[in-house]
Amino acid sequence: MPSPQDHLQVLVERAWPGDEWRDAHIVLAVSAGPDSVALLRATLAGKLCHVGRGRVHVAHFHHGLRGREADADQAWLELLCRRLEVPLTVGRAADAATLSTERGDAPTTGEAAARHARYEFLRVTAEQLGARYVAVAHTADDQVETVLHRIVRGTGLAGLAGMPFSRPLSPSVTLVRPLLAARRRDVMQYLTAIGQDYRIDASNEDRRFTRNRLRHELLPMLRRRYNTEVDAALLRLASQAGEAQQWIAKRAANFVEQCVVVEAGDLVRIDCAPLAGQPPLIVREVCKAAWDRARWPKQAANFDVWRQLAELVLADGDARAITLPGQIRAIRHGNALVLASDRGFS
């Protein structure tokens, strides 16, 4: 049986093969907590840092919400990076918010705002350094909590798939999750094996946050009273949902290229004729893609929005006009479904 140190190292090597990533500069998002510190140490110990021209750069985001405790996290990480001889860039929430406003991004609040600011900082840092990848330390336990959260909140098949291993942050930067197959116990055993300490974020115990209630209340209750293997069951569900969603997205992508045209004046046109007779789930996916191509915010869009649009696409001939969240209007004219903001229709 491999040692705890070897076990986590193998998991990272499988997700993060040195011969594939070796020539790419990489930004590691490190909070100073156990997961991200383990990712840092495992990455530096692996083949990734010993072959090719790629270099690792650490990025730390200071949310400005925990006062002296957050300042101490930053100071601790600065010392660690100096000891490991890894460059470090620190960002703050105010700076990320300014950059987001300059890009014209939709405003967000609460937990979503903090997450948006962090990813904005990571994207900008990677682009400034010429890094192709940003690595974050989400584990299989985070995946379990994410899937359960989405089930409780209400989600579709794409939401059940949980967090993907990778997704684009921008045209030049990809977000990756090398620890997504590792359990939290693997992380803790690894850190103990190499004698590496870490910081604890007290806000992770704050039951005012939904994810913390799921982690400390709902999941333990499900394990104790309903299914001791509920974590594995949720991970299987996510995997199967992800496979199904990939098939749907691939099938829909062919129709998107054929049917969706973004025109000047904040207007999107969907050719309905090729979609006639297609399953509603494919048509809904095409409508989502059209919305994305128009760069309209999706915060208020939900299953009911995609259902209404799919019904218009699949309707015979002209249909009524509808108004959707964000003051987006959709009108069916013959074989075309036209979507536009009020500005686009004016």
How high is the mean pLDDT of the chain?
Answer: 87
Among the ranges given (1-10, 15-24, 58-67, 269-278), the one the predictor scored with the smallest mean pLDDT: 15-24
Question: What is the band of 42 on the pLDDT scale with cuts at 50, 70, 90?
Answer: very high
pLDDT, average across residues 159-177:
93
* Higher local confidence (pLDDT), 53 or 332: 332
- Supply the CATH number for residue 120's domain: 3.40.50.620
In a domain, 73, yes or no: yes
Shared domain check, 166 and 18: yes
Question: What distance in Å separates the CA atoms of residue 337 and residue 318, rounded to the nearest whole number?
Answer: 9
In a domain, 212, yes or no: no
Shared domain check, 188 and 315: no
Shared domain check, 136 and 48: yes
Shared domain check, 266 and 173: no
Shared domain check, 254 and 195: no
Q: Which of 60, 52, 65, 62 is nearest to 25 (CA)?
A: 52
pLDDT at 147: 97
In a domain, 265, yes or no: yes
In a domain, 219, yes or no: no
Question: What distance in Å separates the CA atoms of residue 277 and residue 21, rounded to the nearest whole number?
Answer: 43
Shared domain check, 127 and 20: yes
Shared domain check, 253 and 107: no
Question: What is the band of 207 on the pLDDT scale with cuts at 50, 70, 90?
Answer: confident
pLDDT at 115: 82
Shared domain check, 312 and 178: no
Among the ranges given (60-69, 93-102, 283-292), the one the predictor scored with the smallest mean pLDDT: 93-102
Shared domain check, 161 and 96: yes
pLDDT at position 107 over 50: no
Contact 63, 118 (CB under 8 A): yes
Shared domain check, 187 and 269: no
In a domain, 267, yes or no: yes
Shared domain check, 253 and 193: no
Shared domain check, 251 and 116: no
Q: What token pair was written down for 134?
A: 């940003």
In a domain, 279, yes or no: yes
Q: What is the pTM of this model?
A: 0.84
Q: Which domain holds residue 258?
A: 247-345
Contact 49, 43 (CB under 8 A): yes
In a domain, 80, yes or no: yes
The number of folded domains in the chain is 2
- Supply the CATH number for residue 258's domain: 3.30.465
In a domain, 134, yes or no: yes
How many residues make up the chain in this entry? 346
Question: What is the band of 141 on the pLDDT scale with cuts at 50, 70, 90?
Answer: very high
pLDDT, average across residues 148-176:
92
| Domain end marker among 172, 187, 204 | 204
Identify residue 237 by its one-letter amino acid code.
L
* Higher local confidence (pLDDT), 6 or 42: 42
